[in-house]
Amino acid sequence: MTTSTVAIEPNLDPRSARQLARDTRKHEKLAAKRLTSKGATIAAIIIAFFWTIPTFGLLVTSFRPPADTQTSGWWTVFTNPDFSLGNYSAALTAGGTALTLGESFLNSLAITIPATLVPLALASLIAYAIAWIDFRGKNLIFVSIFALQIVPIQMALVPLLSLFSRGLTINEVTVFPGFDLRDVDHSFATVWIAHAIFALPLAVFLLHNFISEIPSEVIEAARVDGAGHGQIFFRMILPLAAPAIASLAVLQFIWVWNDLLVATIFAPSTSLPMTQSLYSLSGTWGNQWFLQSAGTFLTIATPLLVFFALQRFFVRGLLAGATKG
């Protein structure tokens, strides 16, 4: 008589996941209905209209010929329309102290994309571990991470700068050797590490609150079926937490893209982002409004595209968990 074993593939109960997704959408619609009114909508439209006027004027100025920008306001375009793309080509090829604005645009992308993905990946793993893995001291770790949010960025700039260059010293004793990253040309490592460190506390806090709200029955059903932490995380947690992760991705992308302080301190002179290059070129361009408006709108357009591309997930992430039941 022979016996055989049958390998059973872990079943993550897709019906429970689909039911959870339907309940989430139901709660989103209920929250949207409770949080909106006609008066608030009209007020928001009026505020958005007046808030958008300066941006619209900047956009129009960036397309107007240089002679027109020096002699008339942007609103005259309605009576005398005249547009040109020459401002953008001139702005992208204009050089500052080290780089052209086009090169700085590529640097901004090279800085922002990894500085957004790395902290989100780390934060999602940490948040899952604290929410669903039992180990000693996890509550203390979570409270410590949450407390880091009250530490101002300015307090960490000098220690990080020392760590990236000569190391940390106390009473002339080297506690931690430096990484010598500041002397590497065309290196974004210092900016990536700095942004990841500053983003982790808030990202871990928000993702933990979202992931911990997932019904325990779903996680327990996956464990009973033989799923490990890796399968649960990648096949269940990430899809269900996609709205929260997308919301944080939008906020982190906009924060890093518009950053000037961290880039000024940590970015090498050969790897400056657009914000730093525009700051350097503001004195060189003087009263050349057409170049300043074209360069400024380039910095605005990219985060706007990212926001509108992820707007659906951003709204779902804000509304998820807003109501109970």
Q: Which of 103, 88, 119 is nearest to 267 (CA)?
A: 103
Q: How confident is the model at residue 261, as a pLDDT?
A: 86
- Helix then strand count (H, E) for the chain reads 16, 2
The band of 119, judged by pLDDT with boundaries at 50, 70 and 90, is: very high
Q: How confident is the model at residue 58, as a pLDDT?
A: 81
CB 265 within 8 A of CB 42: no
Rounded mean pLDDT of 100-115?
A: 86
**Mean per-residue pLDDT over the chain, rounded:** 77
Q: How confident is the model at residue 113, as a pLDDT?
A: 92
Q: How confident is the model at residue 116, as a pLDDT?
A: 92
Tokens for 285, please give them.
């361009």
Please determine, for residue 117, whether its predicted confidence score (pLDDT) is greater than 90.
yes
pLDDT tens for 202-234 read 899 888 888 888 888 888 888 888 888 888 888
φ, ψ of residue 171 to 5 degrees: the values are: 55, 45
When computed from its CA atoms, the radius of gyration of the chain, rounded to whole angstroms, is: 25
Tokens for 138, please give them.
């996890």
- The CATH number of the structural domain formed by 103-286 is 1.10.3720.10
Q: Which of 235, 172, 180, 242 is nearest to 207 (CA)?
A: 242
Q: What percent of the chain has pLDDT over 70?
A: 75
Rounded to 5°, angle at Cα 47 from 45 and 50: 105
Q: How confident is the model at residue 21, as a pLDDT?
A: 67
pLDDT tens for 56-73 read 888 887 787 777 777 777
Q: How confident is the model at residue 5, as a pLDDT?
A: 42
Q: How confident is the model at residue 3, as a pLDDT?
A: 45
The band of 244, judged by pLDDT with boundaries at 50, 70 and 90, is: confident
Q: Which of 13-17, 44-48, 191-195, 308-312 has the lowest mean pLDDT?
A: 13-17
The band of 1, judged by pLDDT with boundaries at 50, 70 and 90, is: very low
pLDDT tens for 85-102 read 777 777 777 665 556 777
The band of 292, judged by pLDDT with boundaries at 50, 70 and 90, is: confident
Please determine, for residue 9, whether its predicted confidence score (pLDDT) is greater than 60.
no
Q: Which has the higher per-residue pLDDT, 231 or 5? A: 231
Which residues make beta-bridge pairs with 280? Answer: none
pLDDT tens for 15-26 read 666 666 677 677
Ranges 20-29, 188-197, 269-278, most confident: 188-197
Measuring CA to CA, how many Å separate 301 from each of 273, 293, 307? 15, 12, 10
Which amino acid appears at position 140 of this protein?
L
Which amino acid appears at position 18 of this protein?
R
Q: How confident is the model at residue 10, as a pLDDT?
A: 47
pLDDT tens for 121-164 read 999 999 999 988 888 888 888 888 888 888 888 887 777 777 77
| Exposure on the CB side of residue 86, measured as CA atoms within 13 A | 8
φ, ψ of residue 36 to 5 degrees: the values are: -120, 155
